[in-house]
Amino acid sequence: MDGIELLSMHETQEERAHDFTPQTFEDYIGQQELKQKLAIYTQAAHMRQEPLDHLLLFGPPGLGKTTLSQIMAHVMNVGIKICSGPMLERTGDLVALLSSLQARDILFIDEIHRMSTTVEEVLYSAMEHFRVDIIIGQGAGAKSVNLPINPFTLVGATTKTGMLSAPLRSRFGITERLDFYTAEELRDIVLQTASFLQFNITSEGALRVAYCSRGTPRIAKKILRRVRDFAQVARKEIADLHFVDDVLTRLGMDSDGLSALDNLLLKTILDNFHGGPVGLETLAALIGEDKETLEQVYEPFLLRMGYLEKTARGRQIAGKKLPYLKKKFLGQESI
């Protein structure tokens, strides 16, 4: 159990060492409506000196679920313990973690949909009645012991709400979704992080990074750190739009914000299947990437940006993007 807590602390400290981590809702950029609601919920709970209702946060990875949980703990002046569902392999791990919580503390479980069924069942009574039932002994001598725990708030984070069991999902008093960020919000996050890193980047350069970040702050921060690497080696005091463009080109990203694999996927559909449709497994084999990666990592962005469509017969390039991609890849003005 100590390993779980130590790993969580290590990851949080490492993240804080390299990225700006907001401590208040005012410092947190984006998710405006959600942020306003969480500010009210946490303030009300703090005024009553009660734990916040259990909260389920869902949405794509990298949008700030952990950060929001840390802010809530800071606002409520309580502790927070962070772990992930796959790390809770045994019921004893979860019982030890729950027993260590102080009154009103927050327990954040990332990828909560990946917890085992036996571990998940321990959460039911803990969430509803603030107690856990454990079995001591084996066989005829086994007995059930009721262990009370301090009232706490469970914050569960998931990218796949459909994989949560109905009994667990129903025990969350608050369920909220995180949306992708706008380019302007990501630009502000890049500028905020750059200031923390004591790195100078122009607003135009930050916006260019934002357009390549797939609506995700985590990706924006990763790109910013790579731009900083290039700037440091080149002894560039400020990263302007021209310099950022050059770095992004070296990183395999084009002016549309598409990565090398994004372009390879679209070009393969265009070259080999005249725009589609084509089955996912066939496409994965031609590109040399597994279908799960294509489906979970690359497709969502291309679908959201209107480049790709899903049909009953497979994937195809969206009709409104076909003329543009013909010109981009084949140098043809029209189809």
Give 200's contacts (C-beta < 8 A, 6+ positions apart).
Answer: 194, 237, 238, 239
pLDDT of residue 3: 40
Q: Please, what is the end-to-end C-alpha distance for the chain in angstroms?
A: 61
pLDDT of residue 295: 87
Give me the tens of pLDDT residue by residue for the chain, a chain 335 residues long.
444 343 333 334 444 455 678 889 999 999 999 999 999 999 999 999 999 999 999 998 899 999 999 999 999 999 999 999 888 888 888 888 999 999 999 999 999 999 888 888 888 889 998 988 776 666 666 667 788 899 999 999 998 888 888 999 999 999 999 999 999 999 999 999 999 999 999 999 999 999 999 999 999 999 999 999 999 999 999 999 999 999 999 999 988 889 889 999 999 999 999 888 999 999 999 998 888 888 888 888 899 889 999 988 999 999 899 999 988 887 755 44
Find where tokens 């998940």 sit.
120
Q: What is the pLDDT of residues 271-318, one digit of tens each?
A: 999 888 999 999 999 998 888 888 888 888 899 889 999 988 999 999
How far apart are the C-alpha atoms of 78 and 153, rounded to whole Å? 10
The reply to whether omega before 277 is within 30° of 0 (cis) is: yes
Architecture of domain 2-177: 3-Layer(aba) Sandwich (3.40)
pLDDT of residue 6: 35
Domain ranges of the chain: 2-177, 183-250, 260-330
- Record the pTM: 0.83
Per DSSP, helices labelled H in the chain are 2-18, 32-48, 65-76, 91-99, 117-129, 166-170, 183-196, 203-211, 217-233, 241-250, 260-273, 280-287, 291-293, 299-304, 322-325
Nearest-5° Cα angle at 23, 175 to 1: 70
Beta bridge partner(s), residue 271: none
Highest CATH level, class, for 260-330? mainly alpha
Q: With residue 83 as reference, give the H or E element that holds it.
A: strand 80-84
How far apart are the C-alpha atoms of 43 and 165, rounded to whole Å? 30
Strand pairing of 308-311 and 143-148?
unpaired
pLDDT of residue 1: 42
pLDDT of residue 156: 94
Identify which of 71, 123, 77, 81 has the alpha carbon closest to the alpha carbon of residue 106. Answer: 81
How far apart are the C-alpha atoms of 253 and 262, rounded to whole Å? 9
pLDDT of residue 141: 60
> What tokens were used for 321?
């993007």
For residues 42 and 195, is the Cβ–Cβ distance under 8 A?
no
pLDDT of residue 335: 40
In CATH, 183-250 is 1.10.8.60: yes
Q: With residue 147 as reference, give the H or E element that holds it.
A: strand 143-148
Catalytically annotated residues: 65-66, 110, 159, 218
For residues 287 and 264, is the Cβ–Cβ distance under 8 A?
yes
